[in-house]
Structure 1
Amino acid sequence: FGESITLIAATNPGISQGTPIKYRGVKIGEVMAVSPSFTDKRVTISARVQPKYASFITRTNTAFWVAEVKVGFNGITNLDSLLVKTIEVQPGSGNKRHTFTLATRPYHPEGIQFTLQSEEKGSVSIDTPVSYRGMEVGKVIDIQLGSLADRVISTIEIAPQYAYLVRKNTVFWNTSGMDVSIGLSGANIKSGTFDSLVRGGIAFATPDHQTLFEPAPRGHTFYLHPHAQKDWKKWKTAIPKP
């Protein structure tokens, strides 16, 4: 019959009895009941994991989240979640555990955080991708006004394997939207990829110098430029992997 687990959520994200729990597209369990708690203002989701998978799932660091459909110019992911909600799981390790928090975002390894300061929020939002040479290496995880309300503070998280690319003299800029300038020769329209027009985006590069600057420490602050200067995209700085 399986091993019972409990998932805790602030609100019900569309989960009901029979909602499947999947790992890499394979069903490993399902929801048995959903009930509200009037004392601590939360929702309790009771589920069961199939016996042959239970030993991998009922562990301390296991992560659960609700799969969401994502539409972009690169394709559509989790299309089956459009009709029926699905709970995804990332098996953990450690001691036995049967109560977990149902996350609102997909699991990903904890990255290295940096801070970007800008004069305006612009098109930057939570989950805006951060790219290096057109490859997504991180994302925006938080946006707030500065303590004096004179700037916007964005926190980005870079995947651990790419954190070494961010040096102390690295330059960040916004790749979102469309830049239109009008001169005597007519209108000059500059834009990023179709994906950046839809999702927004932040890019970064490191200047060409004979001496490579040290990696930026965790929490280092950079200025987020509204757009890139012409030479920035031409930088081909070689950065050896540690």
Structure 2
Amino acid sequence: MGDFDGATAAVTGGASGIGLAAARLLRDRGARVAVLDVAESTEDGLLGVPCDVTDDGSVRAAVDTVRREFGGLDVLVNNAGIGAQGDVTANDDAEWHRVLDLNVVGIARVSRAVMDLLRRSERAAIVNTCSIAGLAGLPQRALYSASKGAVHALTLAMAADHVREGVRVNCVAPGTVDTPWVGRLLDSAPDPVAERAALEARQPSGRLVSADEVAQAIAYLAGSGAGGVTGTVLTVDGGMFGLRVRPS
């Protein structure tokens, strides 16, 4: 028996990386899980549902599928997002709008589409994927940091709005995670080995965080063991935000 037996969950951006790790973990702990993603999900035991979080019609169609297949919803993991590089001069207006639309407004679109379902649940929880970039100033991440700072603020506002409706809202803030996106970032660097070493060194643990470690934090916040937790950001960053260790 798993701690999510009888529960239903939806994970946006669940076809790869952190989202897939979270979807697998929730499934393995007993939940019925829908993966909402623009990429097709063929993972055993997961319901793949096409969904573009930048399109309200697509979101509502996906939520209708979840409602039809599951009959309700207990957990929403807002994980869909994209990265961006450069300082404040590096990206034009179109790129700012694109990243903010997906990373921030996408959370609002999906959350509002499922809110009526969550209000009917006795174990309702939303977990948003933020980033340490939303809490600490990182070089060459101006646009990305702005979007994740907005996710943090949105999480707190949503938690305040819905706490008395029985809907808990929290977020995880990963450090640099060993995901396909980071892999592509490293591949595009002039010296991938040196770039990876630099990313590892800026986390006091001396290594990248794994997607499975972030998934464990998501499952905790979504589960009944965190029933008294709302409006909280849980960092999974190898100590990057809070620690000031001496260089090795």
Higher helix proportion (structure 1 or 2): 2
Fold conserved between structures, TM > 0.5: no
- Greater RCO, CA 8 A, separation 6+: 2
TM-score w.r.t. length of structure 2 = 0.23
Higher strand proportion (structure 1 or 2): 1
